[in-house]
Amino acid sequence: MKIILGNPGSGKTKALLALSQEKQIPILCESDSRVERLLVKAQGYGYNIPTPLTLEKAKKAKEVLVDDVDRFFEQALGVKLAAITVNRDTSVDVVDLDKK
């Protein structure tokens, strides 16, 4: 799993769109409107990505990427996300866009 960190405007979504195009993995979104916004952004960058998925459609996917995990869970669950944990092991690749 790759974790992409960065402040607002640092290029996290652009990096995720590039990864989606490279690996042909769809992005999981909290709403149909977010699906449309990501498709417009991808087109603006010249990326050809698989159509992003909402939670209902993602159940058939093998693998997904998530943009703004906090926003996704807050919208999907209807609660504020106070904390998350991530297992650190050899399969975790952390990319900090603010340290470039």
Predicted pLDDT of residue 98: 86
Summarize the confidence of residues 33-42 as an average pLDDT. 96
Give me the domain span that covers residue 94.
2-99
Summarize the confidence of residues 86-97 as an average pLDDT. 82
- DSSP assignment of 61-97, as one string? -S--EESSHHHHHHHHHSS---------STT-EEEEG
Is the model's pLDDT at 78 over the cut of 70? yes
* pTM for this entry: 0.87
Is the model's pLDDT at 89 over the cut of 80? no
Is the model's pLDDT at 69 over the cut of 80? yes
CB 19 within 8 A of CB 2: yes
Total domain count, the chain: 1
- Rg of the Cα atoms in the chain: 13
- 44 Ramachandran zone, left/alpha/beta (phi>0; psi -120 to 50): alpha
Q: How confident is the model at residue 100 (pLDDT cuts 50, 70, 90)?
A: low
